[in-house]
Amino acid sequence: MIKVYRSAESVVITSGDQAVDAPSFSFDKLFQAKNPQTYCEHAIREGTPVSIDTIHRDSWLAPLESQEVWAAGVTYFRSCEARMEESESSGGDVFYDKVYEAERPELFFKATPARARGHGAEICVREDSSWDVPEPELTVAINAHGNVFGYTVGNDVSSRSIEGENPLYLPQAKVYRGSCAMGPALCVTDSLLTDTAIKLTIERDGKPVVIDGTDLTQLKRGLDELAGFLFRDNEFPDGCWLMTGTGIVPSTEFTLLSGDVVRIAIDGLGELCNVVA
């Protein structure tokens, strides 16, 4: 597996125990390529060798350039249950049950590149929200030709109180400053992930207050299926990222607070860590 890390100064690419600095690497060209793996292999050959320990740092920028970030909802049964629970009082619960069973998935815009935070950066909760949670999600890289070619760890930070009040408030619950985190790296591989474990840990005052997990066998829809619906009658000349939904939902008594540390780990992809501003 090839991993691509982005900093403000350059890009570091690893393959096995090899690491190179590739300052001319372009995420846009990667996402535009018909064969992204080949593009990465060429960048490794042209790069300057560095210590593999270079990747062990406290922060990385989100692994993207011009790519939009989209998201899928209600792709795990646990998420369906949670959305129905939070929307019951407004009468909106029936919509989540229907979309879970429907042929067409729920897809929505999540973030522009400027709104995407990287590993080690601060994430935010809305001041006008009373109930906020992280949503750990496998996030897939899709090239301009509609093909899934890589993965990263994603956090679709959401306001459950705003979405629960009315499903039409979804954009306000999902799209705001610091609501999207991705990283630490873009992991390029020819193999689709199928049964990988996802783990969430939230620490408050140095102690874990939430520990939960799931795995990709619980994901109802295939990754290629989600990518196919996203690209229907749409175009992404620079490719895009797609968060694939969450199967981890903290209890109704929990809400994120300033200072909380959110850690999301996906087997093989690394751990994304962010502090709530």
pLDDT at 89: 58
pTM of the model: 0.93
Identify the structural domains of the chain with CATH numbers, from first to last: 2-55 (no CATH), 68-276 (3.90.850.10)
* DSSP states along 40-75: HHHHHHHSEE--GGGG--S--B-S-SS-EEEEEES-
Q: Exposure string (b/e) for 130-165, b if CB count within 10 Å is 16 or more?
A: ebbbbbbbbbbbbbbebebbbbbbbbbbbbbbbbbb
pLDDT at 234: 97
Q: By 3-state DSSP, what share of the chain in percent is helix, strand and coil, each rounded to 5?
A: 25, 35, 40
pLDDT string in tens for the chain (277-residue length) = 999 999 999 999 999 999 999 989 999 999 999 999 999 999 999 999 999 999 999 999 999 999 999 999 989 866 656 555 655 555 666 777 788 888 999 999 999 999 999 999 999 999 999 999 999 999 999 999 999 999 999 999 999 999 999 989 999 999 999 999 999 999 999 877 777 999 999 999 999 999 999 999 999 999 999 999 999 999 999 999 999 999 998 999 999 999 999 999 999 999 999 999 9
Q: Are the CB atoms for 225 and 180 separated by under 8 Å? A: no
* DSSP states along 145-167: TS-EEEEEEEEE-EEHHHHHH-G
